[in-house]
């Protein structure tokens, strides 16, 4: 079988949630958008619910369907994109709570689903989603009269603790919400780590649960093992792969493994000096990353491996991201559909 295996450690995920939760005195929710950062929102959500999470966030109402089915009727599921045209039935049928982000959405929600729970998203400076201070001031009394379950905003620079934007947004959020006497939420993983000023009543970590920066203390959650399809001997001077991108400087053994950029192992990784691990032993990835295949120099192993590991605790999602010139979020959410995902608890 040439399918690579993506192993997801649900115990590590649960520990990451508990450890983040223990850093605050507020509620810790869990962000499971983009199918649980690529790891399966249902599986991830269930494991986090067992760990103690009571509230979950997704990006789009459609993402709430599979999650609700996995979680059952109890836990809260909130939708960052709010109440879009055509969402009413989904929101109602699957008990999803839209985080309304404009006056238009608010009017739509009150008309289509009167009495249905909602939250309000405020823009504290990121200029992405949410009502600005002026809009909020205009509709605040009306909105509060309908009993929102949460007032939330989002930080633009929380992964840079010293960035002045953090304090600026904190002040704006306070100014907009002070005196409302409602649950408030400002922080994702980065903001949670900034300390108690940023915690309010609920934090919304995503990436930290899945083992990624900026949460340095996170346990790695994913391991990626890729089968070797073929191993061959090259004479010095022979080349490997598209564009003859690598030339053997000595007699070399080259293993070809069954994953490529179609599986989310971005082509840019070929420039990053990443390794493929035979157990604990690193072997250099060489040549171009092709659609379904990657080539690895296993000369120094002394034996031909059957499988090589690309993501493990030595070469984390963040290390892969650095090598590809991106962030761990993108590596995780790009992990391909061809992988056989296995879950351990």
Ligand X SMILES: *Cc1c(COP(=O)(O)O)cnc(C)c1O
Active site residue 280: no
CA 297 to chain centre: 31
Site string for ligand X, 70-109 (x = CB under 6 A): ----------x-----------------------------
User: Residues 33, 37, 215, 277: which is the catalytic one?
Assistant: 33
- CA–CA dist 98, 119 (Å, integer): 6
20 part of the interface to ligand X, by CB under 6 A: no
CB 17 within 8 A of CB 23: no
Applying CB under 6 A, among 38, 45, 206, 241 the residue interacting with ligand X is: 206
Pairing of strands 150-152, 119-121: parallel
Q: Which is nearer to ligand X, 80 or 173 (CB)?
A: 80
Active site residue 33: yes
Q: Which is nearer to ligand X, 207 or 240 (CB)?
A: 207
User: Residues 92, 198, 242, 329: which is the catalytic one?
Assistant: 242
CB 269 within 8 A of CB 324: yes
23 part of the interface to ligand X, by CB under 6 A: no
The tokens for 296 are: 């690895």
CB 152 within 8 A of CB 183: no
188 part of the interface to ligand X, by CB under 6 A: yes
46 part of the interface to ligand X, by CB under 6 A: no
At residue 48, φ and ψ (nearest 5 deg) are: -75, -35
Angle at 37 between CA 36 and CA 41, to 5 degrees: 10
331 part of the interface to ligand X, by CB under 6 A: no
Applying CB under 6 A, among 98, 205, 305, 328 the residue interacting with ligand X is: 205
Pairing of strands 281-286, 275-278: antiparallel
Binding-site residues for substrate, in ranges, read 128, 291
Which residues are catalytically annotated?
A: 33, 242
User: Which residues in this chain contact ligand X in the complex, by CB under 6 A?
Assistant: 31, 33, 80, 154, 188-190, 204-208
């Amino acid at each position: 079988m040439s399918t690579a295996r993506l192993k997801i450690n649900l115990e590590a995920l649960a520990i990451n949630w508990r450890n983040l939760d223990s850093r605050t005195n507020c509620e810790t929710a869990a962000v499971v958008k983009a199918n649980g950062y690529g790891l399966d929102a249902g599986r991830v959500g269930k494991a986090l619910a067992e760990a103690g999470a009571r509230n979950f966030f997704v990006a789009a109402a459609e993402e709430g369907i599979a999650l609700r089915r996995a979680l059952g009727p109890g836990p809260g599921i909130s939708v960052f994109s709010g109440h879009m045209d055509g969402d009413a039935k989904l929101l109602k049928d699957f008990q999803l709570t839209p985080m309304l982000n404009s006056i238009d959405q608010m009017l739509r929600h009150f008309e289509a689903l009167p009495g249905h729970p909602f939250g309000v998203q405020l823009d504290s400076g990121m200029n992405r989603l949410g009502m600005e201070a002026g809009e909020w001031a205009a509709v605040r009394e009306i909105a509060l009269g309908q009993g929102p379950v949460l007032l939330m905003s989002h930080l633009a620079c929380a992964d840079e603790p010293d960035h002045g934007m953090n304090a600026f947004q904190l002040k704006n959020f306070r100014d907009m919400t002070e005196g409302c006497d409602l649950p408030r939420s400002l922080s994702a993983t980065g903001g949670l780590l900034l300390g108690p000023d940023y915690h309010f009543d609920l934090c919304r970590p995503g990436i930290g649960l899945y083992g990624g920066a900026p949460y340095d203390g996170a346990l790695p959650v994913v391991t990626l093992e890729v089968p070797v399809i073929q191993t061959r001997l090259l004479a010095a001077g022979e080349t490997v792969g598209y564009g003859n991108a690598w030339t053997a400087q000595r007699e070399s053994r080259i293993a070809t493994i069954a994953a490529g950029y179609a599986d989310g192992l971005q082509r840019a990784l070929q420039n990053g000096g990443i390794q493929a691990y035979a157990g604990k032993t690193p072997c250099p990835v060489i040549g171009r990353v092709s659609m379904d295949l990657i080539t690895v120099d296993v000369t120094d192993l002394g034996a031909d491996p059957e499988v090589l590991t690309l993501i493990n605790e030595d070469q984390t999602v963040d290390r892969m991201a650095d090598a590809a010139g991106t962030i761990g979020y993108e590596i995780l959410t790009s992990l391909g559909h061809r992988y056989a995902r296995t879950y351990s608890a």
